[in-house]
Amino acid sequence: MRSFIKKDLLIFLRDWKELLTVLLLPIILVIVLNFAFAGLFDSGDEVSMDLQLAVVNQDNETEAMEQLKERLVRDAAFEEQEANAILEAAGEIQPVQLLSDYLESDDVKEWVTVHHLEEKAAAEKVKEGELDGMLVIPQGYTADSLYASFAGEPPTTSLIYKIEEETTDSSALQQFIQGFIEQLNYQFAMQEITGGAEIEADLPEGGLEDIGTAHDFTMTQYFTIALGGLFALFVVATVAMKTGVEIRDQVFNRILLANSHPMRFLIGKMVSTIFLVVLQIIFVLLVSHFLMDVFPGRSIAFWGGVFVMIVLLALVLSGLAAIYTAMLLRMNSVDAANGIFMFLTLLFGTLGGGFVPIYMLPEWLQQIGEWTPNGLFLSILTEWVQFENLSSIFQPSMFMIGYFLLFTFIGLALFPKRGRAQ
């Protein structure tokens, strides 16, 4: 096997143009993209937003209590005394007042400016782009919300949020409103559990939430990992394409004439792919780190974990190299096979976040991309960089091993028997 592995390594390393491409180009791209996206998603920067929201209140809170009592007696069959007790408890949770207090709280006022307008005027300002959105409190909202809470029925009236078009600001406003609604529903649930006892109506807080990561994950780290994985795919395609050169030079036939088992040829491709991918990604990560301090202050344990994940990716890609090699030996046209390899490389690279940040892709494409070899590698290393927790990467690491076994099995199954290679 040593001669087969040496053969594949020498074939690749002698192509100095390809070697420079997979080693230097990703580092150049990391540097360029790092400057191009400087400050984007940087957790150290102050994030400020000036969201403009119109509130259209069509409800009448004075009449709400009378409507609520009437519905409790008429529809829910409460006694007069029970209905009065519920009204007293309901006075502690007034949905419209809670919403107003929430939007006017100090935390939220830093982000949102509220304008109290009529519906027609608000709609015009939203359409003209002066406001990011409008929140309509429909007539009967208070009575219906409180009745649904105490009667245990689903509400029939809800807040209405209207926008002209989907933007980052309008989506942010929707998140603020959704946060309030969730907290309000929680208060209603507590009111029902305590049987109408007086409880404190806590408001949701505005501001940024710390999700508890041990380390920040920067765009420089993202580009370094993503481009390292992307060019590892090019290494795999190149190793497989070199099989075409060996076919033209009758290398494969000479192996058969030497009475060497053809499977050694395939295993040699796989082992050389592992060596090349590991060396390529380590080179990209280390050089990028020394040039731009990509992973500052990390421990030996961290780098050990990174190395293990690089090896896992190399194993997966060695299985992919086996599939590519078997396909090429079965096809009549080497150029057609090379075209297929390049298409798959570009497909995996795009879905796995190698060409564009994966966060910019639609959510359904992000979910698909996480199942590509390079996308899964990016996901695992992202978790490792932030948390450095073995439990969070154990399951995806098992998926990587599963990919390796699956790809290897497919490659062995496709590999032509003696005398059947094209």
pLDDT in tens, 144-186: 877 777 777 777 788 888 888 777 777 777 777 877 777 666 6
Q: How confident is the model at residue 348 (pLDDT cuts 50, 70, 90)?
A: very high
**φ, ψ of residue 219 in degrees (nearest 5):** -65, -30
Residue 205 lies in a domain: no
What's the CATH code of the domain at 98? 3.40.1710
Domain tally, the chain? 2
Q: At which of 163, 193, 223 does a domain end?
A: 193
User: How far, in whole angstroms, is CA 245 from its chain's centroid?
Assistant: 40
**Domain-terminating residue out of 161, 193, 225:** 193
Q: What is the pLDDT of residue 212?
A: 46
Is 242 inside a domain boundary?
yes
pLDDT surpassing 80 at residue 371: yes
> Edge-to-edge strand order for the sheet containing 160-162?
112-116, 51-57, 133-137, 160-162
Q: pLDDT-based confidence at 107, cuts 50/70/90? A: confident
Indicate if 253 and 171 belong to the same structural domain: no
204 occurs within a structural domain: no
How far from each other are the two terminal CA atoms of the chain, in whole angstroms?
A: 23
Please indicate, yes or no, if residue 202 is contained in any of the structural domains. Answer: no
Residues 181 and 290 in one domain: no
Residues 24, 170, single domain; the answer is: no
Task: Flag whether 14 is in a domain.
Answer: yes
User: Domain check: are 271 and 401 in the same one?
Assistant: yes
For residue 277, report the phi and psi dihedrals to the nearest 5 degrees: -65, -45
- What are 286-298's pLDDT values in tens digits? 999 999 999 988 9
234/306 same-domain check: yes
- How many separate helices (H) and strands (E) can be counted in the chain? 17, 4
What ranges in 258-389 are assigned the alpha helix state H? 262-292, 300-330, 334-351, 363-369, 373-387
User: Within this chain, do residues 238 and 218 fall inside the same structural domain, yes or no?
Assistant: yes
- Clarify whether residues 266 and 142 are in a common domain: no
Measured between alpha carbons, how far is residue 234 from residues 113, 137, 244, 342, 369 in Å?
51, 56, 16, 8, 17
Q: Which domain holds residue 160?
A: 51-193
Q: How far apart are CA 317 and CA 322, in angstroms?
A: 9
Does residue 330 share a domain with residue 228? yes
Residues 352 and 249 in one domain: yes
1 contacts 271 by C-beta, under 8 angstroms:
yes
- On whether residue 368 sits in a domain, the answer given is yes
195-212 pLDDT, tens per residue?
Answer: 544 444 444 444 434 444
Same-domain pairing of 55 and 39: no
Cβ-proximal residues to 274 (8 Å cutoff; 6+ apart), any chain = 311, 314, 315, 317, 318
250 & 170 share domain: no
Strands 160-162 and 133-137: antiparallel
C-alpha 234/C-alpha 246 separation (Å) is 19
Q: Say whether both 236 and 363 belong to one domain.
A: yes
- Predicted local confidence at residue 188, as pLDDT: 61
